[in-house]
Amino acid sequence: MKAVLRWFLVVFGIADILIALAHILIGPGTIIGANTPNATLDGDVRFSMVLFLAYGVLCVWAASDLDRHAGLIHLLMLVFFAGGLVRLLTVAYVGWPHPFYIAMIVVELAVPLIYIPLLQNVTGRPVRAALARQG
């Protein structure tokens, strides 16, 4: 199971990196169902994607040692979950997005809820203990 979690995190991180690079290099035109943004939104999207690129890099790096980096991995999963919750704010304020992004909400909420307990099982430490050990 440890190998499965490790490889999932690597593939997950690489996907994040590729998505971020597409948004940085091509721009907001890569956003499915979006209108052409103005310069402000374009810059905001590209800036945010630098952070997502760093997120992906951290996922790949943390996969090298699940036991040692369990706290960081839990934190990364919690951030991903928070991203899904923030998308729900958009639903509340603006309405439902393109169906692709509805699927992404499900992924962003489900992946951490599945991965975190599996990581706890593999490392033998609950989230709080793993986070305390990380610091």
Enumerate the domain spans of the chain: 2-134
Closest residue by Cα to residue 119 from 104, 98, 134: 134
pLDDT in tens, the chain (135 residues): 999 999 999 999 999 999 999 999 998 888 888 887 889 888 999 999 999 999 999 999 999 999 999 999 999 999 999 999 999 999 999 999 999 999 999 999 999 999 999 999 999 887 777 777 765
Has this prediction a pTM greater than 0.75?
Answer: yes
Interacting residues of 41 by C-beta distance below 8 A, sequence separation 6+:
28
Residue entry with tokens 């209108």: 35
